[in-house]
Amino acid sequence: MDLDIEAIKHPAIYARVSSEEQVQGTSLDDQVDKCLKQAAVYGWIIPPERIYIDDGYSGASLERPALSRLREDVRSGKVDLVMVYKLDRLSRNIKDTVNLVLEEWSKEHRVVFRSVTEDFNTNSPLGTLIFSILASFAHFERDVIKERTSNGRKRRFSEGRRAVGRPPYGYDPGEVNGTMKVNEQEAKVVRRMFEMYLTGMGFMQIARILNDEGIRTKSGEAWSEKTVRDVIVNRVYLGEVKYSGQYGPGSHEPIIKPEVFDAAQEIRRSKNRVGGRASGSPFLLGGMIYCRNCGSMLHTQPETVSRRRHKDGSVYYTVNRAYYQCGGRVKKGNSFCRAGYIDQKWLDAVIVQRLKERFLPEIRGGRYLEELEEEASRYVQGIRTKIQAVAEEIETKRRAVDRWISAFENGQLSPEKFGNRISELEKTIDQLSAEKEMLEKHLEDAKMRKINVTWAKEVANIIERWDLIPFQYQKQIVRCLIDCVTVWKPSQGKGKHKSQPEVEIDIVWNRSQETLPIGDLPIN
């Protein structure tokens, strides 16, 4: 079947050029101009809003902004013909091309596809056959481009140039594509980072120092543990380049001497062998306590012992207390969060006291169980009241339906007005019925969660003997009774966290009444 020119009312143009093709001189203007000239021959007028252009996007994927808008306009009936300069402008993947043009556009929406240079359209069997053949060639060309790109990267690697991406911190792009030149200001920072690491500082400590001094990464962001580590392990600072997991000599000037780099890697490997921080440290709230200021999880610093010397040369030892510290401040420095350190023993003791205040009847004046019962009863009664109100509203709407039906039967309403009103009432009744069903489910859940007296007594029994319970069981119990803890303590500087009167603590209690590890407790 030939193309019915007069049947086309909403033609559109699609043009695309990738970044690589821009360098080679492929022009978007030429594509659009040739399509417009072809449209003029047929007498079609194509307004600017039906010209879809993807500038700098590869043909390997259909995920492109202009193409997405075109597909949406096809689905909504705003386009009945799509014209391109050449088939590979649409896609270089044969499966994507065939599915898009033959299935989505031609079959589902009766939209015609036309290529200007290949002189075919999908409105005829012959055009469809030609389209399939040309799509195969486009797919083949894409594979050729991939191979050509891979060969280009290999050639760059052999010449000591970077294959892809922008230069790392410490370097700027060179005059020749893929080469690098030293950025002296950043190079000083890189050398200093290695020096700090060799003196025993960790990645997080180095990041804090750089951030506090206002030094930022290449992208202008704060330093973190990961970005510092990426510098310390990067062999590009030895004057090497990387391609496909292999390193080779680069054409750029090194920033770090080999002996310095090797020493840093040995320190890193030794830390990994030791395992970093001591394991099994006694932190009751590890993994469930958060900074209220920035939302970060608090890190834990175990108790350590430091070896020191008096002025006369004699040795003495000091014990550094275990503490919690904001993870955001640890990773990104004081400029990110000013939360102070919190003594671990003090905070753990406060949480245990809060547990006792909540669960021990004698501390709650003997009314703990009664208060929980009353709280649960009020919650259940509140749900029942809402259910009753919704049920009454449903009944009111149903009576309204009956009145409208009577009025229609008596000839007081037109069919159109009657139909619209009944439709509105039925929709409202459906919504109210769904709300009532949801409330009834909540009511059943509330009845199930009503305080279990036996469970509460078991909790009180455990809390009462807290000091006799081994630490690993204490942690399990805390996690059964508490969802999380949020804290806030403004920074006071070093040595000022012996007492914590200014710490603000919020506990989110777990109301699910989980089974506690009572049977496993080695206590009588």
| Banded model confidence at residue 137, pLDDT cuts 50, 70, 90 | low
Hey, what are 109's tokens?
A: 């929406």
Calculate mean pLDDT across residues 354-373.
Answer: 66
pLDDT at 237: 92
pLDDT at 379: 72
Which residue is it, tokens 């020191």?
308
CA atoms within 13 A on the CB side of 437: 6
What are residue 15's DSSP bridge partners? Answer: 53
Pick the closest to residue 286 from 348, 332, 340, 350 (CA basis). 348
Q: Where are the beta strands (DSSP E) in 350-469?
A: none
Q: How far apart are CA 69 and CA 391, in angstroms?
A: 46
| Banded model confidence at residue 369, pLDDT cuts 50, 70, 90 | low
Pick the closest to residue 211 from 202, 196, 222, 197 (CA basis). 222
Beginning with the edge strand found earlier in the chain, give each strand of the sheet holding 504-509 in spatial order.
289-291, 482-488, 504-509
Asked whether residue 190 carries a pLDDT value surpassing 80, the answer given is yes
3-class DSSP string for 254-270: CCCCHHHHHHHHHHHHH
Q: How far apart are CA 451 and CA 453, in angstroms?
A: 6
Residue 325 phi/psi, 5-degree rounding, is -145, 145
Asked whether residue 142 carries a pLDDT value surpassing 60, the answer given is no
CB 268 within 8 Å of CB 232: yes
pLDDT at 69: 93
Q: b/e per residue, 424-435, with b = 16+ CB within 10 A?
A: eeeebbeebeee
Q: How far is CA 221 from the centre of its chain?
A: 18
| Banded model confidence at residue 194, pLDDT cuts 50, 70, 90 | very high
**Least confident window among 9-18, 52-61, 308-317, 440-449:** 440-449
Look at the chain and count its residues: 524
| Banded model confidence at residue 71, pLDDT cuts 50, 70, 90 | very high
Calculate mean pLDDT across residues 76-80.
Answer: 93
Residue 277 or 426, more confident: 426
| Banded model confidence at residue 67, pLDDT cuts 50, 70, 90 | very high
What are residue 317's DSSP bridge partners? Answer: 307
Among candidate residues 18, 58, 106, 224, the one labeled active-site is 18
pLDDT at 279: 35
Pick the closest to residue 418 from 428, 430, 408 (CA basis). 408
Strands 112-115 and 171-173: unpaired
Percent of the chain with pLDDT over 90: 13
pLDDT at 155: 64
Longest alpha-carbon distance in the chain: 113
Strands 180-182 and 315-320: unpaired
Give the CA dihedral 388, 393, 395, 401, nearest 10 degrees: -170
pLDDT at 417: 76
Highest average pLDDT, of 331-340, 371-380, 439-448, comes from 331-340
pLDDT at 156: 63
Q: How far apart are CA 60 and CA 329, in angstroms?
A: 42
Q: In 10 A of CB 234, how many CB atoms?
A: 18
What are residue 240's DSSP bridge partners? Answer: 249
pLDDT at 13: 95
pLDDT at 140: 57
pLDDT per residue as tens digits for the range 314-363: 877 777 788 888 888 887 777 778 888 888 889 999 999 888 887 776 55
**Least confident window among 65-74, 104-113, 383-392, 437-446:** 437-446
Percent of the chain with pLDDT over 70: 73
Type of residue numbered 291: C
Residue 137 phi/psi, 5-degree rounding, is -65, -40
CB 333 within 8 Å of CB 207: yes
**Which string of DSSP letters, residue by residue, matches 313-330?**
S-EEEEEEPPEEEEHHHH
Catalytic annotation present for 150: no
Q: Where are the beta strands (DSSP E) in 72-228?
A: 81-84, 112-115, 120-121, 171-173, 180-182
**Least confident window among 87-91, 266-270, 392-396, 519-523:** 519-523
Q: In 10 A of CB 151, how many CB atoms?
A: 10
Strands 315-320 and 304-309: antiparallel
| Banded model confidence at residue 274, pLDDT cuts 50, 70, 90 | very low
CB 230 within 8 Å of CB 265: no
Residue 34 or 476, more confident: 34
pLDDT at 278: 34
pLDDT per residue as tens digits for the range 481-518: 887 888 888 765 554 444 544 788 888 776 555 555 54
Mean pLDDT of the chain: 77
Highest average pLDDT, of 3-12, 139-148, 448-457, 505-514, comes from 3-12
Asked whether residue 270 carries a pLDDT value surpassing 80, the answer given is no
Asked whether residue 165 carries a pLDDT value surpassing 70, the answer given is no
Hey, what are 311's tokens?
A: 């002025």
pLDDT at 143: 57
Q: What is the pTM of this model?
A: 0.35
Pick the closest to residue 264 from 170, 192, 198, 187 (CA basis). 198
**Least confident window among 227-231, 266-270, 365-369:** 365-369
Q: How far apart are CA 486 and CA 285, in angstroms?
A: 11
Which residue is it, tokens 């390997």?
60
Q: How far apart are CA 364 and CA 356, in angstroms?
A: 9
